[in-house]
Amino acid sequence: YLLWRGARAATSGVPGRWQAAVEMLFELVDNQAKSVIRNEQSRRFVGPLALVAFIWIFLMNFMDMIPVDTVPQIWATVGPMMGFKDYMRILPTADLSTTLGLSTLVLILCIYYNIKIKGLGGWGHELISAPFGNHPVLWPANFLMQMIEFVAKTVSHGMRLFGNMFAGELVFMLIALMGGAWALSATGIGMAVGHVIAGTIWTLFHILVIVLQAFIFMMLTLIYIGQAHDAH
């Protein structure tokens, strides 16, 4: 919220690099929020929420840039001293509980805005009257389809982020194994060269994936909450 307000306030003088970057990010999210959510009062909360989601997920994704074994090796020493014995994985978004937790929060917000904008009765009527039409015979089918839609959107929202980041983490591990295989055998210099080349190429490509996945999660958050404002 402070980042959101700070970007709005920083309109005078020549901006520095940090201020310019914050303003560009703010304008990007603000424009996307305006294009999806017409309700200005809702945007006062949803806009900062989308900005925080983008930055938070980007930072969690960026932890994949830390060498694979660095933090786990530190944790292997520090963890048992603190009473923990579990192996530590560095990438939060490669854990399904993290991504589904975030998508479930978006689902809760969608339900909240459905009730706030349409009223409990209006949303309840929508649940049984769309998408097939408002006829008593079709009410059960409409309600079932609505429930399937909510569940499918929530699961796909979390699974998309998890799947891409988990796959990226696996590729980094496979590339690390190339270097490990060369170090253990002390033969086959091609493995060492391939390790460096593949690691560099995948790192550069994965930076794009990190940013893109954070942006997609943010956009889907805006779209799903925006759909909660629309009447069927």
For residues 208 and 76, give the distance between their C-alpha atoms in angstroms, rounded to a whole number: 31
**Sequence-ordered list of residues with C-beta below 8 angstroms from that of 123, at least 6 positions apart, any chain:** 114, 115
Q: Which of 226, 228, 221 is nearest to 112 (CA)?
A: 228
- For 151, the 3-state DSSP assignment is helix
Q: How far apart are CA 116 and CA 113, in angstroms?
A: 5
Under 8 Å between Cβ of 39 and 227: no
| Catalytic residue set | 156, 160, 164
Three-state secondary-structure class, residue 134: coil
